[in-house]
Amino acid sequence: MTTSDISTSTQQRGRKGLVTEIEHALEAQRTPIEKGKLHFRLAEVLEQDVLSRQEAAQHYKMAFRFNPSSTVAVERASEIYREIGKLPILAQLLDIELKTVEDPAKAVRLLRSLAEVLADLAEMEKAMACLAKALEIRPDEESAAALADLECNEGWEARVAALAESAEQMLATAPIGAADLLVRAGRISLYNRGPHTEALFRRAARIDPSSEEATLVLEDLLAGQGRTDDLAALHEELCAGVSDEDDRAELYFRIGTRWVLRFREPARGISFLERALALRPEMELAAECLEGLRGEIAQA
């Protein structure tokens, strides 16, 4: 069976049957390119099941290993590992992707992303080297500002205060930009172990509840301190701050899946997923995830 045959059978078979079908096809295939395509197709199917996303990421990695021209595979794997907080693996994938990129603009974006991940892993020298390389490829204000943020060991408090003040000044006219400045201030404080790190990221997340950057750092901070009740309260606050029901449902869904995949607390995940489904009863992914979680709990 070829990958095209498998693609056409998607609508004819259930997901589990299709997974089995692709796995059997993988056993029979011989060429690396075909194996890469099959791993990619298997990853796509698994990614539709929220509870199987980490397994999907592993197959995306395999797809890239067998077919290095499949940059989409490594991009999708990176997205999953970022969402579930696997930063060391994410750093490896970004580094791999960088080696395949020819477009200078994309290389600069990847170098900035890798620098941010490395800084979060406290690998400051590597992070600064990435930003220096980005500036060599294409000098721009964003890379220069990011490098300056990492280098300001002395006088960092003044830089944080200036960024926070600028954020407040632009809040009324450009709230997203204000949130971005607060994230920058929060990162500088984080790197220097400042006392106001959490408050800066909380302020950014309240201004822009959709800011994954602010939320993911806050999640690391609170979960790392064992403050899961505070984290759940933060998530409740962020969801309540979203006025559009569809957007709020999406946020409930994303947060619910993170409680399941990232924090391994399915009960809290179910609570958020239920509210996503209450707002959008047609959200099939939420319904399927709830069914799977309840099944697992019943069997435990």
Rounded percentage of the chain residues whose pLDDT exceeds 90: 79
Q: What are the structure tokens assigned to 57, written together?
A: 């990421």
Q: What is residue 5's predicted lDDT score, i.e. its pLDDT?
A: 46
Residue 23 in any domain: the answer is yes
Q: Give the number of domains in the chain.
A: 2
Residue 66 in any domain: the answer is yes
Residue 67 in any domain: the answer is yes
Residue 31 in any domain: the answer is yes
Range 247-273 average pLDDT: 94
Flag the least confident range among 118-122, 182-186, 281-285, 294-298. Answer: 294-298
Residue 283 in any domain: the answer is no
Are 58 and 138 in the same domain?
A: no
- 153 has a pLDDT exceeding 90: no
Could you tell me the pLDDT band of residue 30, with boundaries at 50, 70 and 90?
Answer: confident
- 300 has a pLDDT exceeding 70: no
**212-230 per-position pLDDT tens digit:** 889 999 999 999 999 999 9
Are 54 and 133 in the same domain?
A: no
CA distances from 239 to 1, 215, 235, 248, 297 (A): 46, 12, 6, 6, 26
- 8 has a pLDDT exceeding 50: no
Are 93 and 17 in the same domain?
A: yes
Range 167-182 average pLDDT: 96
**96-142 per-position pLDDT tens digit:** 999 988 899 999 999 999 999 999 999 999 999 999 999 999 999 99
Could you tell me the pLDDT band of residue 6, with boundaries at 50, 70 and 90?
Answer: very low
Are 3 and 66 in the same domain?
A: yes
Rounded percentage of the chain residues whose pLDDT exceeds 70: 95
Could you tell me the pLDDT band of residue 1, with boundaries at 50, 70 and 90?
Answer: very low
Q: What is residue 210's predicted lDDT score, i.e. its pLDDT?
A: 86
Q: What is residue 275's predicted lDDT score, i.e. its pLDDT?
A: 96
Q: Which CATH number goes with the domain that contains 17? A: 1.25.40.10
Q: What is residue 229's predicted lDDT score, i.e. its pLDDT?
A: 97
Range 133-157 average pLDDT: 93
Q: What is residue 51's predicted lDDT score, i.e. its pLDDT?
A: 87
Q: What is residue 13's predicted lDDT score, i.e. its pLDDT?
A: 54
Residue 158 in any domain: the answer is no
Q: What is residue 50's predicted lDDT score, i.e. its pLDDT?
A: 86
- 18 has a pLDDT exceeding 50: yes
Are 92 and 119 in the same domain?
A: no
Residues 249-270 as b or e (16 or more Cβ within 10 Å = b): bbbbbbbbbbbbbbbebbebbb
- 29 has a pLDDT exceeding 70: no
Are 23 and 65 in the same domain?
A: yes
Range of the domain at 34: 1-100
- 14 has a pLDDT exceeding 80: no
- 250 has a pLDDT exceeding 90: yes
- 249 has a pLDDT exceeding 60: yes
* pTM flag (> 0.85): no
Which of 83, 100, 117 corresponds to the end of one domain?
100
**Mean pLDDT for the chain overall:** 91
DSSP track, the chain: --HHHHHHTTTTS-HHHHHHHHHHHHHH--SHHHHHHHHHHHHHHHHTSGGGHHHHHHHHHHHHHH-TT-HHHHHHHHHHHHHTT-HHHHHHHHHHHHTT---HHHHHHHHHHHHHHHHHTT-HHHHHHHHHHHHHHS--HHHHHHHHHHH--TTHHHHHHHHHHHHHHHTTT-HHHHHHHHHHHHHHHHHTT-TTHHHHHHHHHHH-TT-HHHHHHHHHHHHHTT-HHHHHHHHHHHHHT--SHHHHHHHHHHHHHHHHHTS--HHHHHHHHHHHHHH-TT-HHHHHHHHHHHHHHHH-
What is the spatial distance between Cα 77 and Cα 1, in angstroms, rounded to a whole number? 25
Q: What is residue 298's predicted lDDT score, i.e. its pLDDT?
A: 77
Residue 281 in any domain: the answer is no
Residue 247 in any domain: the answer is no
